[in-house]
Every structure is written in structure tokens, then in C-alpha cells.
């Protein structure tokens, strides 16, 4: 039973996905036409828009939208297509079979998808989607931002989409809690902020889940790293170095973390800790933990620090923290210092030296009474390598520094660069020209590499020698 009308269910309804049955929005795409992600704004084809409004009203008088939301997408699309044909005939609407398929896809996007955002989510060239309001939607392609013609009908439709996103992962967004981090079913990361904090209407930022797994080998082919630098990173992961990945927003920190995590021995027990789960570990023994916001009464919050502390009781071989941004830095350093070698985390900073300073500041948030030298000593004892990433002005994400923490001289943390990216110029197509230059110094972790039988491979990578 589909609703008020008897249809042909091919299989029992799937479990309901917490999808609201609000009135449909106005998405603008079909599956076989991804270029519609840049469709003209609503109102260009008034005939088709008027037909959509007519069919939309008549359709929702005949079906139960809640029951429809439980059905598989393909089956729902096919059955709506039949109804659209009947309604078009009743209202004497002149619609081609292509236009009927398009309207069916748009209605399905509203019932079980994210409305106007669906074509952008299906477009594999889009890596980020930024909704600044009902009539302002931007995307990132190949590292560059560009506007789209995608629009929402009004503020309410945009709010309905935001509510659908957050309720699917058991979170909420309202005036008392106007900011929310969530994820889509495919793993894409979402941030939602609504009025009164967002002045021009609900703002949604989506970092899309990569359909193809990014590996260090692929990063070498794409020019994100050079071959010797890639081999150095593989050796660092194999030697179980504690690694901090630093960079700005959208610089590729999580992508690099995913690539490095693929080098972890499948026999190891890994615990991941994130605000919104997006790491894609392929190992068989992984425990994924995710923070939880407070409820309506302000109770029940579980923070990153709570999860890091709990992870220490779970007998992990490695702890991977999606992003360190507060007092949990103290617990993360303690984990790295107490036998959890090979742990990794990311943080926001503009250089390896600034990454050390940020770690200091975050540890101070947890324990303001600790002397600065004690904090720096703990950082030196815990972290082996800082990898700096950046999205450069040609849109390409590159590793700009691989820096080793050597020790301390007085109260100053001593660093040495193993690899840096040196800019030389710009090609005719706008691509930056440069090279990943090795410092050719003897890495401080050479003894550790020798323990794993990788000291010769390490020096060969530092000297840029062929395999």
C-alpha cells in the first residue's frame, strides 16, 4: 500500500528514514542529466514550472507522502511517473515523456532526497556545496568556487532540507541550538547554521564524500606530493610515527589522514574519534566514535575529550582523532605518550611552527596551571612529524612542509624540515610550477626506521633516489 492509492509494491517498505513529509520543494535535476546542476533559475521555463505546481498539488491529494518516503527510490520514481501521466491527461497538460521523467525525479528528490541539492550531490566534479540562502548556492570544482543556478523556492523549503539532514543522524537544529554538524548517508560532512545567527537565511556547507578512495599513490599521480615525498610518508606510517596534519579549511587534511590510515596494519585495533564521522578506514578492526550534542534540557553532551579519555580504556593500538580543536589535545598527547604509537590527528594552523603553538594553547585550555616548558616537553615527547597541507591559488592541494620535531633547545621546540614545496612560477593554464625539495638531512627518526628495516629506504627517499 503506497498511500491513499493502491499501487504495486515490489517488496515490503523499507524502514522509515525519519524523513518529514512536508510539501515538496523545487529541485531541478534528473539522474541522467548532471549538467542540470547549473540549470537556469526558476522562472525561465514558466510552462514547465506551472505544470510542476499543478501535478504537485494533485499528486499529494492522492498519495501518502510518509509511506512514499519508505519506498526504494527507483520504485518510487517509476510509480510516480505513472501518476504524473494520469494527472497530465486529466488536466490536459502537454508534457513530453522526457519532461514527465524530469518532474518525477524532482518530486522524488523532495520526498526522499535533499531537493535542489540532489543534482549537485550526484555531480562527481563537485567537491563542496555552499548554500548561503534560498537563492545563493555555490560549489567548488577543481579547487575553484563558482556560482550555480540552483535555487530554493523560499526560506521554508531551505529549512525543511536542513531539518531533514540533521534529523537523519539524530541531531536537531532550532533557535535554541542554531548550529549543527552532521553527515549525509554517504558520509559527506555537513555544517548547518540558521537564523538568528545566519542573517540572510539558513546556511548549509557540505564537504562531499569522495566516491573513489584517495591513496598516496594517487596523490603522487595527481601532483599533490612527489614520489620521494610519498615514499617518505609511507615509511613514516610504517614506522608508527605520531603524526599531526596541519592546514587551513579545505586544504586536504582529512583526505591525507585517510590516505595515511590505509597504510596501517590490518591486525591493529584502531579507534577513531570525530565530531561528525567522515574517516573511511578500510581495516577490519576499527571502532568509530562520534560526539553528541546536548539535548533540549542541556544534558547528555559527549565531547571529544570524553571520547579520547574513553578510547584509552578500549585497548587501542592507534587513536585517530579527526580534528583536535580544544582541551582534548591534552588527552591526545597523553595517548601518544603512553604507548599508542602511530596515532594521528588534524588541526588548523598555517605552518608547522604555528601547529606547535596551537597545540600549546589547546593544552592550556585543559590545564592552565601547567608551565609552558612542561607543555612543550610533552609535545616533543608525543609528536614525531607535522605535515602541512595547503590549497594553493591554482586550486591544487599540496603538501607544503613535512617537518620533524627534533627536541628542545632551552624553552624552544626544535624543528627540521624534511621536505618543502618551492614555488617557481606559473604555467600558461594557471597551474603553479614548483618542486618538492628534500632537505637531504638525516631524519631524527632514522633509528626507528632501522628498527623496522626501513632506514635505507628512508635515506633513498630523502636523497630522491629511484626505487
- When computed from its CA atoms, the radius of gyration of the chain, rounded to whole angstroms, is 26
CATH 3.30.450.380 maps onto the chain at: 34-207
Q: Which of 214-223, 345-354, 355-364 has the lowest mean pLDDT?
A: 214-223
pLDDT band at 465 (very low <50, low <70, confident <90, very high): low
| pTM, 2 dp | 0.76
Neighbouring C-alpha atoms within 13 Å toward the C-beta of 112: 20
What pLDDT score was predicted for residue 183? Answer: 84
Domain 34-207 has CATH 3.20.20.70: no
- Among 445, 397, 448, 385, smallest CA distance to 421 is for 397
Decide if 254 contacts 393 (C-beta within 8 A).
no
Average pLDDT taken over every residue of the chain: 83
CA atoms of 200 and 376, how far apart (whole Å): 43
* Whether residue 35 has pLDDT greater than 70: no
pLDDT at 342: 92
Q: Select the highest-mean-pLDDT range: 141-150, 254-263, 378-387.
A: 378-387
**Looking at the DSSP assignment, which residues form a beta bridge with residue 453?**
none
* Per-residue pLDDT, 452: 93
Q: What gap in Å lies between CA 67 and CA 211, rounded to an integer?
A: 30
pLDDT in tens, 275-303: 877 788 878 899 999 888 887 777 888 99
User: Domain spanning 216-462: which superfamily?
Assistant: P-loop containing nucleotide triphosphate hydrolases (3.40.50.300)
- Highest mean pLDDT of the ranges 34-48, 105-119, 238-252: 238-252
The 3 state secondary structure assigned to 364-412 is HHHCCCCCHHHHHHHHHHHCCEEEEEEECCCCCEEEEEEEEEEEEECCE
Q: Residues 6 or more apart from 186 whose CB is under 8 A from it? A: 121, 209
Q: What pLDDT, in 10s, does the model give residues 120-174? A: 998 888 999 999 999 899 999 888 899 998 888 889 889 989 998 988 887 888 8
How many Å apart are CA 308 and CA 289, to the nearest integer? 9
Q: Which residue has the higher pLDDT, 422 or 61?
A: 422
What is the pLDDT at residue 69? 67
Chain region(s) in the chain for CATH 3.40.50.300: 216-462
d(CA 263, CA 253): 16
Amino acid at each position: 500500500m503506497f498511500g491513499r492509492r493502491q499501487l504495486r509494491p515490489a517488496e515490503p517498505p523499507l524502514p522509515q528514514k525519519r524523513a518529514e513529509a512536508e510539501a515538496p520543494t523545487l529541485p531541478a535535476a534528473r539522474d541522467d542529466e548532471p549538467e542540470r546542476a547549473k540549470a537556469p533559475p526558476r522562472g525561465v521555463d514558466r510552462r514547465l514550472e506551472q505544470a510542476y505546481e499543478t501535478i504537485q498539488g494533485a499528486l499529494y491529494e492522492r498519495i501518502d507522502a510518509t509511506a512514499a518516503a519508505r519506498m526504494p527510490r527507483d520504485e518510487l520514481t517509476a510509480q510516480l511517473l505513472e501518476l504524473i501521466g494520469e494527472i497530465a491527461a486529466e488536466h490536459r497538460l502537454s508534457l513530453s515523456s522526457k519532461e514527465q521523467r524530469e518532474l518525477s525525479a524532482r518530486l522524488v528528490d523532495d520526498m526522499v532526497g535533499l531537493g535542489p541539492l540532489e543534482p549537485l550531490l550526484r555531480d562527481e566534479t563537485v567537491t563542496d556545496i555552499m548554500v548561503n540562502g534560498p537563492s545563493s548556492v555555490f560549489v567548488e570544482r577543481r579547487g575553484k568556487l563558482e556560482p550555480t543556478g540552483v535555487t530554493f523556492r523560499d526560506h521554508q523549503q531551505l529549512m525543511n532540507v536542513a531539518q531533514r539532514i540533521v534529523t537523519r543522524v539524530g541531531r536537531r537544529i532550532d533557535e535554541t541550538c542554531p548550529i549543527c554538524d552532521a553527515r549525509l548517508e554517504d558520509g559527506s560532512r555537513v555544517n548547518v547554521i540558521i537564523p538568528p545567527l545566519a542573517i540572510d537565511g539558513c546556511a548549509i556547507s557540505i564537504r562531499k564524500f569522495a566516491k573513489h578512495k584517495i591513496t598516496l599513490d594517487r596523490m603522487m599521480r595527481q601532483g599533490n606530493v612527489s614520489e620521494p615525498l610519498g615514499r617518505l610518508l609511507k615509511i613514516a606510517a610504517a614506522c608508527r610515527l605520531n603524526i599531526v596534519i596541519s592546514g587551513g579549511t579545505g586544504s586536504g587534511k582529512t583526505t591525507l589522514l585517510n590516505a595515511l590510515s590505509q597504510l596501517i596494519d590490518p591486525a591493529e585495533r584502531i579507534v577513531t574519534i570525530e565530531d561528525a564521522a567522515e574517516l573511511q578506514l578500510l581495516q577490519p578492526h576499527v571502532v568509530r566514535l562520534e560526539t553528541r550534542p546536548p539535548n533540549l534540557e542541556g544534558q547528555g553532551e559527549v565531547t571529544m575529550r570524553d571520547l579520547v579519555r574513553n578510547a584509552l580504556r578500549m585497548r587501542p593500538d592507534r587513536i585517530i582523532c579527526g580534528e583536535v580543536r580544544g582541551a582534548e589535545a591534552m588527552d591526545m598527547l597523553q595517548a601518544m605518550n603512553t604507548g599508542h604509537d602511530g596515532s594521528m590527528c588534524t588541526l588548523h594552523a598555517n605552518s608547522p611552527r604555528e601547529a606547535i603553538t596551537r597545540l600549546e594553547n589547546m593544552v592550556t585550555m585543559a590545564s592552565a596551571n601547567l608551565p609552558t616548558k612542561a607543555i612543550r616537553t610533552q609535545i616533543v615527547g608525543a609528536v614525531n612529524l607535522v605535515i602541512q597541507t595547503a590549497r594553493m591559488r591554482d586550486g591544487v592541494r599540496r603538501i607544503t612542509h613535512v617537518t620533524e620535531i627534533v627536541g628542545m633547545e632551552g624553552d624552544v621546540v626544535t624543528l627540521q624540515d624534511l621536505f618543502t614545496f618551492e614555488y617557481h612560477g606559473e604555467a600558461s593554464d594557471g597551474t603553479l610550477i614548483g618542486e618538492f625539495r628534500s632537505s637531504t638531512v638525516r631524519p631524527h627518526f632514522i633509528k626507528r626506521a632501522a628498527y623496522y628495516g626501513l632506514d635505507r629506504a628512508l635515506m633513498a627517499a630523502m636523497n630522491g633516489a629511484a626505487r
